[in-house]
Structure 1
Amino acid sequence: MRTWTRERLQDYRSRVRGCILGGAVGDALGAPIEFLSLDAILRAHGADGLTDLAPMNGDRRGLVTDDTQMTLFTAEGLIRASVRADRGICHAPSVVYQAYLRWLATQDEPAPPPDVSGWLGRQGWLYAQRAPGNACISGLRASRMGTREAPANPRSKGCGTVMRSAPFGLLPPPGWEPRKCFDLSVDCAVQTHGHPTGYLAAGALAAIVRILVDGARLDDAVDETLALLKTYAGHEETTEALRAARAAAEQPVGPQIVERLGGGWVAEDALAIAVYCALAHPDPADIRKALLLAVNHSGDSDSTGAVCGNLLGVLHGETALPPDWVAEIEGRGTILEVADDFAMEFTQGGQLHGDYGPFTRWRERYPGG
């Protein structure tokens, strides 16, 4: 068993907070310009493009989308799976699937129903519809859970897999090595997207995040993940996209480079754009530049911004995130609460609910189903 010293606990908690909150910051930054071309962005915001949080659809600044919503339910599902595991029986993909069904309910109801399970589903702000992905909706409305053998939406490789998968990489050792995080991310991605590139790109993000949790450099984490990817059938598109991102980082920085990597609407493009922008501005003092680069393009700006924020947040920790942007993020209290609960569960879970222990407040907060 890992001994979690106070210093190690603080470093890990900061990375978890940084990853989940950083994703929300990137999401909120890109959401108002998601459906605009680069030319339209430049016309609307000037020669430098978007440089700050902006209102979305005439509403206030800092609003997040389904990317952040689903990321929170991914994290909640993993916590519940861990709580359930100390009863001796747990199939983690099934528990995460139930979490995604709770997210789906937020898209069907105007407010939390009285019988909602767990505390996250009682957060009213999550019931806003923010352009949820079609494959996510249709995959979860199917009559069964998608599996690797029989995935949902077999032809879909949309970015809806990548934008929600960072929490899989936050699972710490012992027991959660990069390949295991990769595989669990894949098992949950196929619940909505069945194309190999769609689910392998999600696995790749989880692996990169997991390697960064241990303090690796981003370029080393990408290289290690590329080596891991080669062992999976159908890896070619994801591998090519990550290699393109690595190569692009050696060129002069600019939105034209982002445009050449794709639009971010499909999983491998979203991953490549996010990785490129983080590699182009790897220093903690340059997070603002990296996130702005990740959203100022003609594609899926909120998803590429979210994934870039995940990467930079886990790489540098929460205190490196731009505080003026963090302060305005919708649901910030809930986001940080989920992050803190995640860090506590996976470092001190035995003290929260105990091995095969009795009912506790934590079990009420995170029922094992």
Structure 2
Amino acid sequence: MDERTRARGVLLGLACGDALGRPVEFSSPEAIERRHGRVTEMLADGTHGQPAGTITDDTEMALCIARSLAENGEFDPADIAERFVEWKRSGPFDIGIMTSSALRRIENGEPWDEAGHNEWEASREGSNAGNGSLMRCAPYAVAYRNDPETRGTVSRESSAITHADPRCQWGCVLFNDVLAEQLGGNDRPLETALDTLGDNLPEEIETAATEVVAYRDGETDSVGLQNSGYVVTTLQAGLYHALTTTSAEAAIVDAVMMGGDTDTIAAVTGALAGARFGVEALPERWLSELAIRDELESLADELFETDHEQA
């Protein structure tokens, strides 16, 4: 499988997971099972009352990043922050609390490189490390797949626009390192990423990722997955579903069936599964429901062709 196929899988897998999970967001696993059985088709209505195949803030914010990278040919955080603000002003039906608060600060005149930090410092533990930057950061893995140093820097800086907690910043770094390794065909991408990042990772991020490695190696029988919006548990769930399954479809469906923050958990899983299995492994019946399918494919190609390399 070539890298371009995997790159398309990243962005389209993210959107598929997002749209599949959107109608059952905030539902319990039991409620999803009782009403829908196993969610294998794009559903209409449900949470947020949108048509089948509708994406949420997960994909919309990733699009802001991908468009900026494609149009500018490089990471321009001020431009990305401005795109986030304009998106917020458009009145999205779904936007995270911390994201909204940080972007409001920028609207009110705070610099883009201070607003996220200020919001983090003003937030209490338990509400200061959400998954709102993790869900959108995958485009950096495609654009900077051959430049790990820059990829890490932009992943952190982009996260900090709205989510400055070290767990959020380094969660994005680890996620994008795994994606980049998968784009290159590495069959042990998480292990390689952990070895590379070493002691830089916050303990909670490292522990969560190491538990997935232990499960894959047969050293433990289970991983205590959770379905909240906490960046650590979302990252762990995405890694688990994408790296331990036999197909992209199974990975994304299993993520949705966890309940809770279904759109984001499935979006993170979808990006990883898309990188692992390639865009052709994503069901056509899902892809055909995505109104932004062509743009996502085009952006994936543009980011792939940019091919940033370490200086």
Fold shared, TM-score > 0.5 on shorter chain: yes
Q: Which amino acid aligns with 2:167?
A: T
Between Structure 1 and Structure 2, the one with more helix by share is 2
Q: Which residue is 1:261 aligned to?
A: 225
Distance 1:276 1:180 in 2: 26
Closer/same/farther in 2, CA of residues 345 and 279 from structure 1, 3 Å limit: closer
CA contact (8 A) 1:146 1:152 kept: no
Conserved? CA contact 1:25–1:309, under 8 Å: yes
TM-superposed CA distance for 1:210, in Å, is: 1.4
Q: Does structure 2 retain, via aligned residues, the 8 Å contact 1:193–1:199?
A: yes
1:341 aligns with 2:311: no
Please give the per-residue CA displacement for 1:38-68, whole angstroms capped at 9, x wherever unaligned: 111111123xx32322113354211111000
Contact in 2 for aligned 1:78/1:95 (Cα 8 Å) = no
Q: Does 1:230 align with 2:192?
A: no
Q: Equivalent residue for 1:36?
A: 27
Looking at structure 1, the residues matched to 132 and 96 of structure 2 have their Cα atoms a distance apart, in angstroms, of: 6
Q: Is 1:177 matched with 2:147?
A: yes
Residue-by-residue CA offset, 1:192-212 (whole Å, 9 max, x unaligned): 012111111111111111122
Residue of structure 2 in register with 1:290 after alignment: 251
| 1:182 alignment partner, SS class | helix
Partner in structure 2 of residue 276 of structure 1: 240
- Which of 107, 113, 138 aligns to 2:101? It is 138
- 8 Å CA contact retained: 1:157, 1:199: no
Q: Secondary structure at the match of 1:336?
A: helix
Structure (1 or 2) with the larger CA radius of gyration: 1
- Offset of 1:188 from its aligned partner? 0.7
**Contact between 2:143 and 2:306, CA under 8 Å: does it hold in 1?**
no
Alignment partner, residue 70 of structure 2: 79
How many correspondences in the alignment? 297
Matched, 1:187 2:151: no
Contact 1:23 1:308 in 2 (8 A): yes
The answer to whether residue 14 in structure 2 is matched with residue 53 in structure 1 is no
Unmatched 5+ stretches in structure 2: none
In the aligned structure 2, how far is the partner of 1:98 from the partner of 1:185?
17
Give the superposition deviation at 1:147: 5.2
Q: SS in structure 2 opposite 1:261?
A: coil
Say what the alpha-carbon RMSD is for the aligned residues. 2.7
Letter in 1 for 2:34: R
Is it true that 1:210 corresponds to 2:180 in the alignment?
Answer: yes
Quick check: 1:307 aligned with 2:275? no
Task: Provide the rounded CA distance (Å) in 1 between the counterparts of 2:156 and 2:117.
Answer: 13
Q: CA deviation at 1:149?
A: 10
- CA 1:345–1:178: 2 relative to 1, 3 Å: closer
Q: Name the CA distance, whole Å, in 2 between partners of 1:242 and 1:147.
A: 29
Structure 2 residue corresponding to 1:239, chosen from 188, 201, 206: 206
Partner of 2:137 in structure 1? 165
After superposition, the C-alpha distances for 1:146-165 in whole angstroms (9 at most, x for unaligned) are 35994542442101011001
The 3 A distance-change label for structure 1 pair 131 and 243 is same
Does structure 1 residue 104 correspond to structure 2 residue 88? yes
TM-score, normalised to structure 1, is 0.73
CA distance in 2, matches of 1:248, 1:41: 26
Structure 1 residue 323 displacement after superposition: 1.0
State the identity %.
28
Q: Is residue 2:291 matched to residue 1:323?
A: no
